[in-house]
């Protein structure tokens, strides 16, 4: 399915889909479950536009490429250009807030990491970024957004942006020191603990701050 940004209440979003800038290891408990060391600076990577798919209906995971993990993350839709922005100004550029799945080919990522190679194939493949509808940021406290993911009716991930190692304003500012964020780009803010593999047939249900609920069924793509 072709991806377009959408507002949850049905109003049109004309921002063109762009890149998704992501941060790894931004929650301490996830750093621990990955047996990783906390990084001194945010660990950034980019998923291309071609990775974007709707977090709705059916989500396809690659077949025959090892474990594909879900990582549930707060996603920010950028509405104005950000380049070398201070934290306070960076927040003003957020046009929408939603949820994303940073789909990760975990076995392949492990092999690439061990070889000292970039992760792109494990995290940037077609369909590797499922993005929900977004809600306007008006009235939301970016430091107190709670979110959760249920897999087949069982809660697997529960996060709160108050636990982010790099909070949202600082994260946006930091990203903009390196990569210009353009209108229509997304920022994924990192996953809390509880990541795990997906199987065809799984039902995913996610919720953000009491203001957004999304669900999708997992299918395998050959």
Nearer of residues 102 and 207 to Zn ion, judged by Cβ: 102
Nearer of residues 157 and 191 to Zn ion, judged by Cβ: 191
Asked if 185 interacts with Zn ion (CB under 5 A), we say no
For residue 131, the minimal CB distance to Zn ion (Å) is: 13
Asked if 102 interacts with Zn ion (CB under 5 A), we say yes
Helices (H), 54-167: 87-91, 106-114, 120-123
* Spatial distance between the Cα atoms of 82 and 174, rounded to a whole number of angstroms: 11
For residue 22, the minimal CB distance to Zn ion (Å) is: 6
Helices (H), the chain: 28-33, 87-91, 106-114, 120-123, 168-178
Task: Name the strand (E) or helix (H) holding 99.
Answer: strand 94-102
* Spatial distance between the Cα atoms of 36 and 208, rounded to a whole number of angstroms: 27
Asked if 71 interacts with Zn ion (CB under 5 A), we say yes
Query: In 3-state terms, what secondary structure has residue 140?
Result: coil
Nearer of residues 71 and 133 to Zn ion, judged by Cβ: 71
Asked if 191 interacts with Zn ion (CB under 5 A), we say yes
DSSP string, 35-53: TPPPPSS-EEEEE-GGGEE
Q: Which residues pair with 203 in a beta bridge?
A: 217
Nearest to 101 by CA among 181, 179, 174, 159: 159
For residue 23, the minimal CB distance to Zn ion (Å) is: 7
For residue 71, the minimal CB distance to Zn ion (Å) is: 4
Size of interface with Zn ion, in residues (CB under 5 A): 3
Asked if 72 interacts with Zn ion (CB under 5 A), we say no
For residue 191, the minimal CB distance to Zn ion (Å) is: 4
For residue 211, the minimal CB distance to Zn ion (Å) is: 22
Options 31-39, 47-55, 94-102, 129-137: segment touching Zn ion (CB under 5 A): 94-102
Among positions 164-183, residues that touch Zn ion (CB under 5 A) are none
CA distances from 10 to 6, 117, 134 (A): 7, 42, 10
Terminal Cα distance for the chain, rounded: 16
Nearer of residues 13 and 44 to Zn ion, judged by Cβ: 44
Options 13-21, 38-46, 99-107, 162-170: segment touching Zn ion (CB under 5 A): 99-107
Report the interface residues with Zn ion, using CB under 5 A.
71, 102, 191
């Amino acid at each position: 399915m072709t991806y377009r940004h959408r507002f949850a209440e049905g109003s049109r979003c004309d921002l063109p889909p762009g890149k998704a800038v992501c941060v790894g290891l931004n929650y301490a408990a996830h750093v621990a479950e990955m047996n990783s060391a906390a990084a001194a600076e945010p660990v950034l990577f980019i998923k291309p536009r071609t990775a974007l798919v709707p977090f709705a209906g059916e989500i396809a995971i690659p077949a025959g490429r090892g474990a594909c993990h879900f990582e549930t993350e707060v996603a920010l839709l950028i509405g104005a250009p950000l380049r070398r922005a201070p934290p306070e100004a960076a927040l003003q550029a957020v046009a929408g807030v939603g949820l994303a799945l940073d789909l990760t080919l975990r076995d392949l990522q492990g092999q690439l990491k061990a070889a000292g190679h970039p992760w792109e194939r494990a995290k940037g493949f077609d369909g590797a970024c499922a993005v929900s509808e977004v809600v306007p940021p008006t009235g939301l406290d970016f430091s107190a957004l709670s979110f959760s993911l249920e897999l087949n009716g069982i809660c697997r991930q529960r996060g709160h942006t108050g636990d982010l190692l790099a909070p949202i304003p600082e994260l946006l500012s930091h990203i903009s020191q390196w990569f210009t964020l353009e209108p229509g780009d997304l920022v994924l803010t990192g996953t809390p603990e509880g990541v795990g593999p997906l199987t065809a047939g799984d039902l995913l249900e996610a919720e953000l701050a009491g203001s957004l609920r999304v669900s999708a069924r997992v299918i395998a793509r050959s």
